[in-house]
Amino acid sequence: MKCSLIIPAYNEALVIAPTVRSLVDTFSKQVDFDWEIIVVDNASTDDTRKEVEDIAHTQVHVISLTQKGKGNAIRAGFTKAEGEFVGFTDADLSVAPSEILQAFLSMMSGDSDILIGSRTHKESTLPGREWWRTGSSSVFNMLAVAIVGVRTSDTQCPLKVMSAPGLRVMLATQEPTWFFDLEFLALCESLHLRIKEVPVTWNEHRYPTRKSKLSTFRDGVRSVGAMFRIRKNLPAQLTVLANISKVERS
């Protein structure tokens, strides 16, 4: 059994090496499954790729993608993944490596198709998170419910692990930006896949010198447009997925 972890990285030269080394250290201590880490250098203009290559670990791979966008990067990583279970997380490692490992182990129980971290889970802890970040996330989630109709409480938490049903949906997503998480979960919910939310210990400031690439106001405005775009495209995407399922069953 093999698990694949995808990390999209755009100009993450300052943090990508310690992130990958921390994950390698955590995953190397378990003997339950084989694993690989795939870093997708997403049109970086710094030394992101070189930092990963310098780690020189046989289970760490890096691919380059000239097309920008987190959604594009993760889909590119998924097409290269060899694992039966595939997940992704962010380069800033806001979710602890031990919790990422546990997510893969939990998926192996077979009681869900997709496992996602949730910062709104009652057992989650968010030490040091600014009030305005929590507030903006809450507004985003409320709009996602109202516009797209998703029921998942935290669509944007960067911890998602899935088995074959989720993999098929992931590769059918179209959204190029960081809003693709919402698109993915909207499709999964519409197809009645089993989604399990788990608590996380959230650390947004693991690397204090790293600056967020998101703007609360700018990306907040963009998110509304993305939600309407996702809602508009859902019927056609669901039709395509239904046709694929028919072919697979025939």
| Percent of residues, the chain, with pLDDT higher than 90 | 78
Total domains in the chain come to 1
Q: pLDDT digit string (tens) for 141-168?
A: 899 999 999 999 999 999 999 999 999 9
Q: What is the pLDDT of residue 208?
A: 67
Long-range pairs for 44-53: beta carbons < 8 A, 24 or more residues apart: 44/9, 44/10, 44/11, 44/12, 44/13, 45/11, 46/11, 46/12, 46/13, 47/13, 48/9, 48/10, 48/11, 48/12, 48/13, 48/16, 50/13, 51/13, 51/16, 51/17, 52/9, 52/16, 52/17, 52/20
- Does residue 250 form part of some domain? no
Of 153, 133, 134, which Cα lies nearest the Cα of 145?
A: 153
Res 210: pLDDT:
67
- Give a yes or no: residue 11 inside a domain: yes
SS3 call for 243: helix
CATH number, domain of 64, equals 3.90.550.10
pLDDT for 250 beyond 60? no
pLDDT tens digit sequence for 62-110? 999 999 999 999 999 999 999 999 999 999 999 999 999 999 999 999 9
pLDDT, average across residues 29-41: 94
Structural domain contains residue 146: yes
In a domain, 232, yes or no: yes
Per-residue pLDDT, 94: 95
171 part of a folded domain: yes
Q: Is 214 or 122 the better-scoring residue by pLDDT?
A: 122
Lateral strand order in the sheet of 85-89: 60-65, 34-42, 2-9, 85-89, 159-162, 114-118, 195-199
Domain assignment of residue 164, yes or no: yes
The range of the structural domain enclosing residue 70 comes to 2-245
